[in-house]
Structure 1
Amino acid sequence: MHDTAEYTDEKEIIDQKAIKLAEDFSYDGYQVVRRELFAHLREPAVVIRRDSVTFNTACIAGLEDTVYIQILVNQDSKRMVVRKCEENDKDALRWCVAKPDKRKSRKMTNKIFSAMMYEMMGWNLDCRYKILGHKITFEDETIYVFDLMETEIFLDIKGKRAKKDTESQFTTEKANSIEETASNSTDNERSVEEIKRKNRIPFYPKEWKDSFGLPVEEHRKALEINMLDGYAEFTTGK
């Protein structure tokens, strides 16, 4: 009986707290935490390197039976859109390897497109950029929207460049260009293995340093896009 009374008193205290919270609650001052801050191995994403673009398996699975796509880029809002198309459509790009039982991710080798993207975004050529995809429906069509301003950044130094890097450190200019989420090594003689390890350490835009995400109201408007306003289709030979 005594235990029951204690439980009832505790429940009343909790309920009173809930009532007070409800009376004073407002979304003012809250930020919606970016999903990029959590592990998301099974979420749709694209990785852009200085010489290629690769969409992950989750991204490909999200557009059922799609083998060919068109890539659209909005230079004003810094967003990229992927939409399904047919093989013979103008500017169709094959984004996966199609087999009878499944579709697999493929490396879409390019130089000009990546160079244009890196220049537009002011990205570091020693890094690769991973962007999560938002699947939305627009005019009865399912598309992916990638916000190029919200990226995970990884060092992408390989081969001869990795060996060369063991003999020298990043310059101060390069170090200041990206915000690292883990502590940098101060060792001047890093091994190739150390370079490989650092290639897996994510960096984030320095603008994120003092913010968990967008304010609630701004977040609600973040994915309002107009396909007819400012989007340019990337043209390339098939």
Structure 2
Amino acid sequence: MSEMMMRQANDNTENVDQKALELAQDFSYDGYQVVRRELFAHLREPAVVIRRDSVTFNTACIAGLEDAVYIQILVNQDNKRMVVRKCEENDKDALRWCIAKPDKRKSRKMSNKLFSAMMYDMMGWDMDCRYKILGHKITHEDETMYIFDLLETEIFMDTKRKKKVKAESSAKETTVSTSTNQTPEQQQDEIAAKVARKLNRIPFYPKGWKDSFGLPVEEHKKALETNLTDGYIEFSSAR
């Protein structure tokens, strides 16, 4: 490396160090917000998806609760949180949340109508959407469980609830082959199906997040200080 290049490198280092000193001199957490992890991709993080007719826990969630095959679901109507804890098959209100094989467990769709209806009503959710909530794994009194904050959701259009989408409003975004075999109605249906698939992948976020990346630092420290002994309701269902 030439002498000139070395001088330039040293100058750059000095500039960076000087900037770091200036930033550190008056640094404070005041005004900072801890960015919600829901704003990033998290395919391998524990999560639950609630639809109007089912509940599904992802594989990461199931793997994180050791060898649990049966669970109990608890709901706190006051702070809008849901807890999942391991239980035995014959325990009251036990729910099977996975398919257990000798070598692995995998996710299963937990079909229901009443539970989802109650959840959608409690949260004021849109019946045309599905809601994905990340799980926070905690230990309480030597028991490992997941807490799901129902106020912090990813929202997706749920195309299983088939709704007609006007062809004229979607034609600009979707290219459709105009086969001589297709009637205008078939072409419109094809456009609607493609738009529905596209909408199914578009995430939304709660209105309360519009002007905020997350909680202020001090509030964030207290966010998961949850007292599990007060206010929780076990959701009871016949098996």
2:229 equivalent in structure 1: 228
The letter for the 1-side match of 2:196 is I
**Of the candidates 26, 40, 43, which is equivalent to residue 41 of structure 1?**
43
TM-score relative to the length of structure 1 = 0.87
- Counterparts in 2 of 1:29 and 1:186: CA distance versus 1, 3 Å: farther
| Deviation of 1:230 (Å) | 1.1
Larger deviation, residues 202-211 vs 119-128: 202-211
**Of the candidates 140, 146, 149, which is equivalent to residue 147 of structure 1?**
149
SS in structure 2 of the partner of residue 165 of structure 1 = coil
The letter for the 2-side match of 1:215 is P
2:183 equivalent in structure 1: none
* Paired residues of 2:170 and 2:195 also in contact (CA < 8 A): no
Within 5 A, what are the aligned runs for 1:105-116? 105-116=107-118
2:30 equivalent in structure 1: 28
Inter-partner Cα distance in structure 2 for 1:147 and 1:168: 38
1:165 equivalent in structure 2: 164
TM-score relative to the length of structure 2 = 0.87
Inter-partner Cα distance in structure 1 for 2:126 and 2:210: 18
Segments of 4+ moved more than 6 angstroms: none
**Of the candidates 131, 134, 137, which is equivalent to residue 136 of structure 2?**
134
| Deviation of 1:154 (Å) | 0.9
Within 5 A, what are the aligned runs for 1:210-225? 210-225=211-226
Inter-partner Cα distance in structure 2 for 1:235 and 1:97: 21
- Counterparts in 2 of 1:186 and 1:193: CA distance versus 1, 3 Å: closer
1:197 equivalent in structure 2: 198
The runs of 5 or more residues in structure 2 that have no matched partner are 173-187
| Deviation of 1:2 (Å) | 3.4
SS in structure 2 of the partner of residue 157 of structure 1 = coil
* Paired residues of 2:51 and 2:130 also in contact (CA < 8 A): yes
- % same residue: 74
Inter-partner Cα distance in structure 2 for 1:78 and 1:185: 37
The letter for the 2-side match of 1:195 is A
**Of the candidates 91, 94, 97, which is equivalent to residue 92 of structure 1?**
94
SS in structure 2 of the partner of residue 113 of structure 1 = helix
| Deviation of 1:80 (Å) | 0.4
1:176 equivalent in structure 2: none
The letter for the 2-side match of 1:3 is M
1:177 equivalent in structure 2: none
- CA-to-partner distance for each residue in 1:106-127, whole Å, 9 max, x for gaps? 0001111111100000001111
